[in-house]
Amino acid sequence: MSSLYYRKKQKHPEDGAADFRLMHSKEIAVVGVSDKEYKSGYRIFKDLIKHGFNVHGINPRNGTILGRQIKRNLRALDRVPDIVIAVVPPEVTLEIIEECRSMGVKEIWMQPGSESPEAVGKAAAYGIKATAGSCFMRQAGIWR
């Protein structure tokens, strides 16, 4: 079985209620968090916090965003996240997959624009469940 999943857009947020509850209980790392409010990394991080997710922000510049300490990389986290959400260019996603492999991360969600055939293939080769071609926030029912 392939570790790649292309998700179909849900018609209503309630359609994914069970998945939402399951994702809500997991530790999530958002790689590509930004302090710029117009960027997807900022909006995703802010809305996950707002909806009560256990979320950590990752950006090489670290610092503080929305009152939370941002880590420089995934290895700086206290524990291995259950899900990594990539909100970065595809070439950076390749680096993230290497980091996920070395840490034992089991799932990566490549936000639209973060994925590439090479990244998807690399995740599959490492046994990391990869979701590409779909927005995590829409699948979780947070964004319409």
Q: Distances from the Cα of 94 to the Cαs of 10, 16, 17, 49, 66, in angstroms?
A: 28, 28, 31, 26, 27
Residue 46, pLDDT above cutoff 80: yes
pTM of the predicted model, to two decimals? Answer: 0.85
Residue range 4-139 in CATH 3.40.50.720:
yes
Residue 4, pLDDT above cutoff 50: no
pLDDT in tens, 13-39: 444 444 555 566 689 999 999 999 999
Residue-range domain boundaries for the chain: 4-139
Report the distance separating Cα 83 and Cα 130, nearest Å.
10
Give the pLDDT band (50/70/90) at residue 5.
very low
pLDDT in tens, 107-129: 999 999 999 999 999 999 999 99
- pLDDT at position 133 is 87
Q: Distances from the Cα of 56 to the Cαs of 79, 81, 119, in angstroms?
A: 11, 9, 22
Report the distance separating Cα 2 and Cα 28, nearest Å.
22
Mean pLDDT of 1-8: 42
